[in-house]
Amino acid sequence: MTDAAVRAAANRRLALKLLWLVAAAIAFAFALVPLYNVFCDLTGLNGKTENLPAEVLQSMRVDEQRWVTVEFTSSVMSGLSWNFKPSQPSVKVRPGQIEMAMFEAKNITNEVVTGQAVPSVSPARATPYLKKIECFCFQRQELQPGESKQMPLRFYVSPDLPDDVQTVTLSYAFYKAVPEAN
């Protein structure tokens, strides 16, 4: 074989390896979101909490001897022209008792805007114990120009929350939602 033929064969092998690498990177990019969601569901990171069936909720015990304060904070990320805030700064709850809190959002633009709320819980070790049953963060929220909306949050704090945790902060950051592909 000549030098040119050897180089051509080596270049073909390199091109094939690079194509495989590109294909693997694309496959990884498509798998990243589902993998991240599974990771967050398992670890409770990023405020992801499980949805429980009604039967489980009805049989849950309430700790009548204890109070936990749940504080609410909110922020709107740049690129989303909304006002967004909790209707109340905090609530005192009995662990195991289902509670409701309301958040208010207002679109302050002259166009339809869609946002997505991302929750986080602190202290981080309390994340697995804050259970959201119904939340505006489960789906995108669309507001018409100038529209205000009341957004409910139904949740409970698990009775298994460590006794030394007396305050849990639930924060929501609202981002402008990326348009969905049709």
pLDDT in tens, 10-32: 888 988 888 898 887 887 777 77
Predicted model pTM: 0.67
pLDDT in tens, 88-101: 999 999 999 999 99
- Domain ranges across the chain: 3-43, 50-176
Question: What are the backbone dihedrals phi and psi of residue 171, each rounded to the nearest 5 degrees, phi first?
Answer: -110, 140
Cβ neighbours around 175 below 10 Å, total: 15
Which CATH code fits 50-176? 2.60.370.10
CA distances from 34 to 61, 120, 161, 165 (A): 33, 19, 28, 31
